[in-house]
Amino acid sequence: MATQLPSPPRVGMVSLGCPKNLVDSERILTQLRADGYQMSADYSGADVVLVNTCGFLDSAKEESLEAIGEAIAENGRVIVTGCMGKEAEAIRTRFPQVLAITGAHEYEQVVEAVHAAAPAAISPYVDLIPDAGLKLTPRHYSYLKISEGCNHRCSFCIIPSLRGDLVSRRPDAILREAEKLVAAGTRELLVISQDTSAYGIDIRREPRAWKGREVVPHMTDLARELGQIAPWVRLHYVYPYPHVDQVIPLMAEGLVLPYLDIPFQHAAPSVLRRMKRPANDAKVLDRIRAWRDICPDIAIRSTFVVGFPGETEADFDYLLDWLDEAQLDRVGAFRFEPVEGASANLLPDHVPEEVKEERYARVMEKTAAISAAKLQRKIGRTLDVIIDAVDAESGGATARSYADAPEIDGEVQLRDAGHLALGDIVPVVIEDADDHDLYGVPA
């Protein structure tokens, strides 16, 4: 007689916020799968719904509360986790029926809460985890979190109070995870943390054995090792500390992508001082020039906040001039938003909303023009791209070059590319460009 397998409980997941939160969601789901749970793609099929919340901005908190409300209305059995776990009381007041609330990266607690809400039916026949765990991103690229928390105290940010000081993962554990991801189909690793350049400062004296050699927990050493594991390695959230210079030759060698995501946030010294930003000095422009001397193709991405308290017209003009000099490849801008609990809220001279809007429009216009000019210069070149989507009917494909991180940067739209598969890395000839995207054809 065939073995009757117990039907496993099903868990729904709503994951909000940044890629770091997404990685937390993946870890939770991986553990739940290991414990015998199945996932539900909709509310109605779920025995319990997990809402992984983001509390970075007030608007993100509101979105999280709305998601909790929706999950309660649609399913009724809801567990809340993530950054908003710190505000359990506020959540309970609004949604007394929530089953449990746990904080950011309290993996064990959230998994325990799921076990209590929907006990798992353990069976040796079904308790297998895919080798790379469960992933919420497409198979060909994966976020790789190397540390948690942050030692800085930027005045507009509440992440350190939500997530604590920097805690680095062991380098051998990171490299093992990277290998599993690549074995499961990942072609591009996106290295993330709150502060990638600070990786390892808490465990510097603890090198680990890896493939018969010792790996020091340091960004450069880790990047070099990762470059030998995955075809593409992309570094996010890097601050311009002096040792970042050491990673640029790895980019020139082709070991990691010539792409640096550095959240500068502003350029005017007085604004940076009030923001309490790390590693921002007057020499940043010189550093960028030196990086381009070593690796001329390097794509630098950054984000900026406009309308920070006390930002004068002169400060803003300074930022625009700085952008002219820096010629960054990719820029995102935000209007300053006071987040509850951030010390910046107490600063004097808040900028009126209409001035923020106007500055935002000006910075976007400036950076779009810089981007358009830089992309024009790529026409006629042959670049490697990674395929993200293929439209068999039209024969077109959507891809990204080394200068494009998924979801936040531009794309390369391809014609005559219907024969390609997701995750293929192929050379293409660039035929056209607009403000943010390139257009081309397989070479």
Please state, in angstroms and rounded to a whole number, the distance separating the CA atoms of residues 356 and 311: 10
- Show Cβ contacts of residue 141 under 8 Å, excluding neighbours closer than 6 positions: 186, 187, 188, 189, 190, 232, 386, 406, 423
Q: Are 154 and 271 in contact (CB under 8 A)?
A: no
Residue 303 engages ligand SF4 in binding (rule: CB under 6 A): no
Residue 21 engages ligand SF4 in binding (rule: CB under 6 A): no
Residue type, 442: P
Sketch the per residue contact string, 173 through 212, with ligand SF4: x for CB under 6 A, - otherwise.
---------------------xx-----------------
The smaller minimum CB distance to ligand SF4, of residues 276 and 436, is found at 276
Please state, in angstroms and rounded to a whole number, the distance separating the CA atoms of residues 56 and 68: 16
Nearest to 383 by CA among 364, 363, 403: 403
The smaller minimum CB distance to ligand SF4, of residues 178 and 272, is found at 272
Residue 159 engages ligand SF4 in binding (rule: CB under 6 A): yes
Residue 261 engages ligand SF4 in binding (rule: CB under 6 A): no
The residue within the footprint of ligand SF4, chosen from 11, 23, 50, 154 (CB under 6 A), is 154
Three-class SS of residue 138? coil
| Smallest gap from residue 351 Cβ to ligand SF4 (A) | 19
Residue 83 engages ligand SF4 in binding (rule: CB under 6 A): no
Q: Are 262 and 240 in contact (CB under 8 A)?
A: yes
Please state, in angstroms and rounded to a whole number, the distance separating the CA atoms of residues 159 and 249: 32
Sketch the per residue contact string, 275 through 294, with ligand SF4: x for CB under 6 A, - otherwise.
---x----------------
How many CB atoms within 10 Å of residue 360? Answer: 18
The smaller minimum CB distance to ligand SF4, of residues 53 and 280, is found at 280
Name the phi and psi angles at 148, rounded to 5: -130, 150
The smaller minimum CB distance to ligand SF4, of residues 342 and 387, is found at 342
| Smallest gap from residue 195 Cβ to ligand SF4 (A) | 5
111 DSSP assignment: H
Residue 162 engages ligand SF4 in binding (rule: CB under 6 A): no
The smaller minimum CB distance to ligand SF4, of residues 111 and 150, is found at 150
Please state, in angstroms and rounded to a whole number, the distance separating the CA atoms of residues 102 and 304: 32
Residue 160 engages ligand SF4 in binding (rule: CB under 6 A): yes
Q: Which residues bind ligand SF4 (CB under 6 A)?
A: 150, 152-154, 157, 159-160, 194-195, 278
